[in-house]
Homo-oligomer: A and B are copies of this chain.
Amino acid sequence: MNLITVNKALEIVLNCAENYGIEEVDFLNSSGRILKENIFADRDFPPFDRVSMDGIAISSESFNNGQRAFKIEGILAAGSKQLTLQNTNNCLEAMTGAVLPKNTDAVIQYELLTIENGFATINLEAVKGFQNIHLKGTDKKQGDLLIKENTFISPAEIGVFATVGKTKVQVAKQPKVMVISTGNELVEVGENPAEHQIRRSNVFTLVSLLEKLKIKADTAHILDDKEILKTKIEVYLNDYDVLIFSGAVSKGKFDFIPEVLDQLGVNKLFHEVKQRPGKPFWFGKKNLENNLEAKVAERSRSIVFAFPGNPVATFVNCLKYFYPWYYKSAGLTFENTQQAILSEDFYFKPELTYFLQVKLNQDEGKLMATPVAGKGSGDLANLADADAFLELPDNRSNFIKGEIFPVIIYRQ
């Protein structure tokens, strides 16, 4: 067998990463997308010398001159304009978030005060200048880079966008994806399959996996008929940036996908990878430079991921190949460096990279991976029992408890 390795396959896939441009979205809808602009501080943070405890603002000089009881001149709330302490022997009550009053340089919190008859008495030995004051610009200076382009946007970034007034943000445009099932044995989820039939499921798993990347994929089903396949796929190649197939890529007499893709001018980059499950994975691309419709849509090529129909193969291949391809396309400098520790000996003979279904658990900061009993048969229900795939290399058969391997986690 002259299959390519998993690493080589991934390299080829990543070389086909494609820039789909940029779009602007409401900042509140940007979670899970990839940021395509640098976010800068629009002002200093804090934007003023900010009171950081509820209490009184004083001039520390008065305190250091021995004064302990301060007449309260007034009160200052967050959101009020800056006040001025008129007499530096007095004080102003000042609330967290307020602008430090002029002529003051220290804030004493209520817990350390006795307030009586309009006077605040400080129960403290010493006061430091600028205590309980969060000085202007100490966190960030106006113009500072807060978030770099090509960051994955999470709730923390949403807060930063709001803080600096970014109501709209530039994010990577998503590729337009069509997920296609084939196979005459498949019926719809709502139907009752006859004995020799099964329900469509892989397309929905794929749609759900893509949804996690905030990609809304379309779906289609095509019967195992060469002419119908050809007609429909030709349309999809023009209309979509990415086609993802599940099934019909193996050696069967009705596995028409590779042949049809070839006839439609899709350039095969590899077929069959040294892995289990997922070996018959077919990958290619079609240049559309001369295609008018594609040109109108500013689409220069279509990428085709044709995954094997085995549900576990489809699942692991989407995570192993499509996910990194998408991240790279969107500009994310992403590399899956997660590893886990095998918690028991495991034996796998074929010279293939084995994606072992494992259950994860943490033990004192170490990520332990325990194989989930299964027959590698494409049993989708097993996926629901596991959390991740441990990637066992293709060059040996014995994997020993305590060894560390790359892991693809699909459940947090």
If A110-B251, A224-B77, A250-B96 touch, whether A162 touches B189 (CB-CB below 8 Å) is yes
In this assembly, does A309 line the interface, its C-beta being within 8 Å of a C-beta of chain B? Answer: yes
Are B45 and A381 interface neighbours, CB within 8 A? yes
- Chain B residues closer than 8 Å to A155, beta-carbon distance: 205, 208-209, 211-212, 315, 410
- Chain B residues closer than 8 Å to A3, beta-carbon distance: none
Closest B residue to A203 by beta carbon equals B162
Cross-interface CB contact of A383 among B156, B337, B382, cutoff 8 Å: B156
A337–B366 CA distance with the chains assembled, in angstroms: 12
A 20-43 contacts with B by CB, 8 A: 27-28, 31, 41, 43
Closest B residue to A99 by beta carbon equals B196
A 186-227 contacts with B by CB, 8 A: 186, 189-202, 204-205, 207-209, 211-212, 224
| Smallest CB separation, A41 vs chain B (Å) | 8
A 75-133 contacts with B by CB, 8 A: 75, 77-82, 93, 95-99, 109-111
Size category of the A interface is 35 or more
- Helix, strand, loop or mixed for chain A's interface? loop
A297–B130 CA distance with the chains assembled, in angstroms: 52
In this assembly, does A289 line the interface, its C-beta being within 8 Å of a C-beta of chain B? Answer: no
A48–B194 CA distance with the chains assembled, in angstroms: 11
If A78-B185, A79-B185 touch, whether A158 touches B95 (CB-CB below 8 Å) is no
Stretch at the interface among A134-142, A298-306, A345-353, A392-400: A134-142
Stretch at the interface among A9-17, A172-180, A252-260: A252-260
Are B197 and A82 interface neighbours, CB within 8 A? no
- Chain B residues closer than 8 Å to A154, beta-carbon distance: 208, 410-411
| Smallest CB separation, A408 vs chain B (Å) | 12
- Chain B residues closer than 8 Å to A166, beta-carbon distance: 189
If A154-B410, A253-B77 touch, whether A52 touches B377 (CB-CB below 8 Å) is yes
In this assembly, does A263 line the interface, its C-beta being within 8 Å of a C-beta of chain B? Answer: no
- Chain B residues closer than 8 Å to A337, beta-carbon distance: 361-362
A197–B47 CA distance with the chains assembled, in angstroms: 8
If A205-B158, A365-B341, A365-B367 touch, whether A198 touches B404 (CB-CB below 8 Å) is no
Cross-interface CB contact of A339 among B41, B46, B364, B377, cutoff 8 Å: B364
A184–B77 CA distance with the chains assembled, in angstroms: 8
Are B199 and A162 interface neighbours, CB within 8 A? yes
In this assembly, does A54 line the interface, its C-beta being within 8 Å of a C-beta of chain B? Answer: yes
Contact with B along A295-338 (1 / 0, CB 8 A): 00000000000000101000100000000000000000000011
In this assembly, does A183 line the interface, its C-beta being within 8 Å of a C-beta of chain B? Answer: yes
Contact with B along A150-164 (1 / 0, CB 8 A): 011011111111111
In this assembly, does A167 line the interface, its C-beta being within 8 Å of a C-beta of chain B? Answer: yes
In this assembly, does A380 line the interface, its C-beta being within 8 Å of a C-beta of chain B? Answer: yes
- Chain B residues closer than 8 Å to A98, beta-carbon distance: 185, 196
11 A–B contacts from the bound complex (CB under 8 Å): A28-B207, A47-B193, A95-B253, A98-B185, A159-B311, A161-B204, A163-B198, A167-B189, A337-B361, A339-B364, A339-B365
A residues contacting B by CB (< 8 A) are 27-28, 31, 41, 43, 45-48, 52, 54, 75, 77-82, 93, 95-99, 109-111, 134, 138-140, 146-147, 151-152, 154-167, 183-186, 189-202, 204-205, 207-209, 211-212, 224, 250-255, 309, 311, 315, 337-341, 361-362, 364-368, 375, 377, 379-384, 386, 404, 410-412
